[in-house]
Amino acid sequence: MAKVTIIGAGQTGATTAHWLAERELADLVLVDIVEGMPQGKALDLMEAMPVIGSDAKIVGSNDYQDTAGSDIVVITAGLPRKPGMSRDDLLEANTNIIRASVENSLQASPDAILIILTNPLDVMSQAAMIISGLPRERVIGQAGILDSARMRAFVAMELDISVRNIHCYVLGGHGDSMVPLTRHSNVAGVPLNVILSPERLEAIVERTRKGGGEIVGLLQTGSAFYAPSAALAQMVDAILNDRHLVVPASVNLDGEYGLSGIFFGVPAQLGANGLEKVLEYDLNDEEQAALEASAEHVKETIDELKEKLQIAA
Ligand code: APR
């Protein structure tokens, strides 16, 4: 059985383990700095397996030795922004967490593919690539599946049509500047801008952009974790099963969409070796401009990151 390590056994990490264990996709190791908590969640999940009918083994640990030989390491470890904490403080704190997670994981599993969830997503993925020195094929950030799934859910609610028929593509940075491609998104092949009025479509686009905040506002404590973890599980599945599956994901661009050297949400084909290919849409001027504006946002924070890592931009 394949082995997958999840760093950060909080809401998203533990729920990712839940989805993966249920699908019997891999043996799992949940790692956290909090003592007892990953062990407790892992044991609880193990005790659910007889009911589910899965022989996946789930181990909780505070020790990276237990993660040795992992095929994939999913990093969800991070701090949420707390009152009084600036964006910059969060960037610094989470960069340090990414550093510890990446260095320790790769020491134990030198061949692992890294999937990053920690926010700010595109920048933390960049940090993981710089810190690890890995090629771009092996460092992939999760954001686009989630943003696109939110949009698909909103379209399904609006039209009362199966989510299976609804295909939405949200590209760009993971934040307010994300770019929902309404011309390319469709319901059973009918473009969204044909099936929905401009007003309804705009409302769905806006709700998608603010999807994370909507959940935070409702939960009061913590942020979304069911949809983010389902997205992580899909990426793990695509890699472990060598599916050559195209999903929106944050990858380090190498000239695609006219952008280089930054992590950015694009359609990415995933297989056994991680990133296989970036697909390029035929974008009109307006879409390309929106993408470039989003890239500017990401670049600014990446410059701050490079300063923190003391690497020349
Ligand atoms: N090593 C391992 N685990 C760590 C470390 C570290 N250095 N630092 C923090 N953690 C753990 C915390 O102890 C916590 O259990 O990461 C976990 C994060 O879980 P939650 O706080 O429940 O956050 P979650 O909702 O799962 O979101 C995970 O995703 O949205 C992003 O950046 C955001 O930090 C958030 C991450």
Q: Please tell me the predicted confidence (pLDDT) of residue 313.
A: 47
Distance separating alpha carbons of residues 207 and 229, to the nearest angstrom: 20
Domain C-terminal end among 122, 141, 160: 141
Domain count, the chain: 2
Residues sharing a CB contact under 8 Å with residue 224, sequence separation 6 or more, in sequence order: 146, 211, 212, 215, 216
Average pLDDT, the chain: 95
Domain C-terminal end among 100, 122, 141: 141
Residues 255 and 137 in one domain: no
Residues 94 and 125 in one domain: yes
Backbone angles phi, psi at 163, to 5 degrees: -60, -25
Residues 18 and 31 in one domain: yes
Q: What is the pLDDT of residues 236-294, one digit of tens each?
A: 999 999 999 999 999 999 999 999 999 999 999 999 999 999 999 999 999 999 999 99
Average pLDDT for 82-106 = 89
Residues 7 and 134 in one domain: yes
Average pLDDT for 103-115 = 98
Q: Binning pLDDT at 50, 70 and 90, where does residue 82 land?
A: confident
Residues 136 and 148 in one domain: no
Is-above-0.85 flag for pTM?
Answer: yes
- Looking at per-residue pLDDT, the higher value among 86 and 295 belongs to 295
Residues 110 and 232 in one domain: no
Q: Please tell me the predicted confidence (pLDDT) of residue 311.
A: 66
Asked whether residue 202 carries a pLDDT value surpassing 90, the answer given is yes
Average pLDDT for 144-166 = 98
Q: What is the pLDDT of residues 48-77, one digit of tens each?
A: 999 999 999 999 999 999 999 999 999 999
Q: What percentage of the chain carries pLDDT values higher than 70?
A: 99
* Beta-carbon count within 10 A of 228 CB: 24
Range(s) of the domain holding residue 281: 144-307
> Does residue 108 lie in a domain region?
yes
Q: Binning pLDDT at 50, 70 and 90, where does residue 307 land?
A: confident
Residues 120 and 171 in one domain: no
Kindly report the protein residue whose alpha carbon is nearest to atom 5 of ligand 1.
77
Residues 226 and 274 in one domain: yes
In this structure, the strands spanning 3-7 and 27-31 are parallel
* Span of 19-23, 129-133, 297-301 with lowest mean pLDDT: 297-301
> Does residue 312 lie in a domain region?
no
Residues 229 and 293 in one domain: yes
Backbone angles phi, psi at 281, to 5 degrees: -80, 155
Distances (CA, A) of 176 to 23, 116, 187: 33, 19, 24
Domain C-terminal end among 141, 173, 201: 141
Q: Please tell me the predicted confidence (pLDDT) of residue 272.
A: 98
Residues 166 and 93 in one domain: no
Catalytic residues: 174
How many angstroms is it from 8 CA to the middle of ligand 1?
A: 5
Q: Binning pLDDT at 50, 70 and 90, where does residue 312 land?
A: low
How many angstroms is it from 10 CA to the middle of ligand 1?
A: 6
Helix (H) or strand (E) holding 47: helix 37-52
> Does residue 66 lie in a domain region?
yes
- Which atom of ligand 1 lies at the shortest distance from residue 225's CA? 25
Kindly report the protein residue whose alpha carbon is nearest to atom 2 of ligand 1.
32
Residues 133 and 69 in one domain: yes
CATH of residue 186's domain is 3.90.110.10
CATH of residue 92's domain is 3.40.50.720
Residues 155 and 106 in one domain: no
Q: Is 77 in the pocket of ligand 1 (CB under 6 A)?
A: yes
Q: Which of 15, 33, 89, 121 to mutate to test the pocket of ligand 1 (most atoms within 8 A of CB)?
A: 33
